[in-house]
């Protein structure tokens, strides 16, 4: 395999120009993008880049549209309440992104007089803005030469330079290749072009029957100088074997009143699902890889409800749990559903929860896993006499 130093033999000017020419003819038309050669609104770039972290473009499009319609400017967004931001974000996942984004907007308004920072260093000082996002904003919104390195671009550069090291050890060599071919002009267009190439052409390997898919090297603008295409391009970047996700098991209770309200609790502002509205659950959000089962604790909201509603005629336990995948663990929740509850009967239980109309539940800051819970609790036919601890 060639070393990282040997990458400097690549014709950088021809490579970068080929990428830009391809972009001018084949770019994706996305709502936060400007035409080639024009700088984009930094508010739109920042908003889209934060949303796109761990999320697909198609999933982000409707959320981006809702946000810019509700808050057309950075000042509008900074003036919003965090609860309203989380309500509009609900379903997009990784909720710390929304909380950090809201804090960052307020920092820009108070410390930068409402003007978006233009340098990577200033951008990285904002809550929730890391190396990649700062480089993307600097390049796409302000035309600066910055090394924009997301997973797509990382894969392209690893193949282009045939980087032998495994990630994350390969990152310095990958950055060296990217630095070599990133142009001084139109760095933002260049970065977006690589994103599109990674999305359409230099794709990650996917299993197709007994075989793995290969990138479409024949139509790639970088093909003539790509070292990886002559070997097994799908084998880059080299990665260490993935660890199995930890599996956490817990309980969740859906309490529906006789006047069609449902009981919710708000998570603390920090941590997993911070600030979001949840049905009462066991304490799985604070779990670890070593602990996998989370029982109902007597002094918790779920514990108090369980004691108060243990003999309620409308109580049932669903045989089928809700399964949900987070970035670092899988969750399995057994659902306890209690219907036709008199709200006044729970006042003495010190529930600590809040009642919301079922009809407007879709407007609350409810994460995807809780939406799954509610759909199963209300629509499942698998309710039965499963044992309840």
Tokens of 383: 């309710």
pTM of this prediction? 0.76
- Residue 79 makes CB contacts below 8 A (sequence gap 6+) with none
pLDDT tens, 26-38? Answer: 999 999 999 988 8
Averaged pLDDT for residues 253-261: 91
Buried b (16+ CB within 10 A) or exposed e, 280-303: bbbebbebeeeeeebebeeebbbb
Averaged pLDDT for residues 103-117: 96
Chain mean pLDDT for the chain: 86
Please return the burial class of 182, using the count of CB atoms within 10 Å of its CB with bins 0-12, 13-18 and 19+: buried
Averaged pLDDT for residues 332-341: 91
- 137 pLDDT higher than 80: yes
Confidence of residue 8 (pLDDT cuts 50, 70, 90): very low
Residues marked active site are found at: 49
Q: How much is the pLDDT for 288? A: 57
Distance CA 74, CA 116 (A): 9
Tokens of 102: 């809201």
DSSP code of residue 7? G
CA dihedral for 74, 79, 84, 85, sign (positive or negative):
positive
Q: How much is the pLDDT for 386? A: 34
Distance CA 276, CA 270 (A): 10
Q: How much is the pLDDT for 285? A: 62
- 7 pLDDT higher than 50: no
Averaged pLDDT for residues 353-379: 84
Confidence of residue 242 (pLDDT cuts 50, 70, 90): confident
Averaged pLDDT for residues 298-313: 85
pLDDT tens, 193-234? Answer: 999 999 999 999 887 777 777 899 999 999 989 999 888 888
Confidence of residue 271 (pLDDT cuts 50, 70, 90): confident
Which of 104-108, 358-362, 372-376 comes out lowest in average pLDDT? 358-362
Structural domains of the chain sorted by starting position, each given as residue range(s) with its CATH number in brackets? 4-239 (1.10.340.30), 246-384 (3.90.79.10)
- 158 pLDDT higher than 50: yes
Contact status, residue 50 vs residue 134, Cβ threshold 8 Å: no
Averaged pLDDT for residues 253-276: 84
- 388 pLDDT higher than 50: no
Q: How much is the pLDDT for 348? A: 46
Q: How much is the pLDDT for 350? A: 61
Averaged pLDDT for residues 60-71: 97
Confidence of residue 376 (pLDDT cuts 50, 70, 90): confident
Confidence of residue 384 (pLDDT cuts 50, 70, 90): very low
Q: How much is the pLDDT for 218? A: 92
């Amino acid at each position: 395999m060639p070393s990282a130093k040997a990458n400097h033999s690549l014709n950088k000017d021809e490579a970068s120009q080929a990428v830009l020419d391809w972009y001018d003819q084949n770019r994706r038309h996305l709502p936060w993008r400007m035409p080639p050669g024009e700088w984009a609104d930094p508010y739109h770039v920042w908003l889209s880049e934060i949303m796109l972290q761990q999320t697909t473009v198609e999933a982000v499009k409707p959320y981006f549209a809702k946000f810019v319609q509700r808050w057309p400017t950075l000042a509008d967004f900074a003036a919003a309440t965090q609860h309203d931001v989380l309500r509009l974000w609900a379903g997009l996942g990784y909720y710390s992104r929304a909380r950090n984004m809201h804090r960052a907007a307020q920092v820009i308004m108070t410390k930068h007089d409402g003007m978006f920072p233009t340098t990577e260093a200033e951008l990285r000082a904002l809550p929730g803005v890391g190396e990649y996002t700062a480089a993307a904003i600097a390049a796409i919104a302000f035309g600066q030469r910055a090394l924009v390195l997301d997973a797509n671009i990382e894969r392209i550069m690893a193949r282009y330079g045939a980087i032998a090291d495994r990630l994350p050890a390969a990152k310095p060599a990958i950055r060296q290749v990217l630095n070599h071919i990133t142009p001084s002009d139109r760095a933002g267009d260049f970065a977006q072009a690589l994103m599109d190439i990674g999305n359409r052409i230099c794709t990650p390997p996917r299993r197709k029957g007994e075989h793995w898919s290969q990138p479409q090297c024949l139509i790639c603008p970088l093909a003539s100088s790509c070292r990886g295409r002559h070997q097994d391009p799908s084998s880059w970047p080299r990665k260490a074997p993935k660890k199995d996700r930890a599996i956490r098991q817990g309980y969740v209770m859906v309490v529906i009143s006789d006047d069609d309200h449902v009981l919710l609790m708000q998570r603390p502002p920090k941590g997993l699902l911070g600030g979001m509205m949840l049905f009462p659950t066991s304490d799985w959000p604070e779990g670890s890889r070593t602990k996998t089962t989370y029982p109902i604790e007597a002094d918790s909201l779920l514990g108090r409800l369980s004691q108060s509603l243990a003999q309620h005629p409308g109580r049932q336990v669903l045989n089928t749990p809700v399964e949900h995948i987070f970035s670092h663990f899988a969750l399995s929740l057994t659902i306890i559903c209690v219907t036709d509850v008199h709200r006044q009967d729970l006042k003495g239980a010190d529930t600590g929860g809040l009642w919301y109309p079922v009809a407007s539940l879709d407007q609350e800051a409810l994460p995807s896993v809780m939406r799954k819970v509610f759909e199963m609790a209300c629509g499942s036919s698998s309710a039965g006499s499963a044992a309840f601890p």
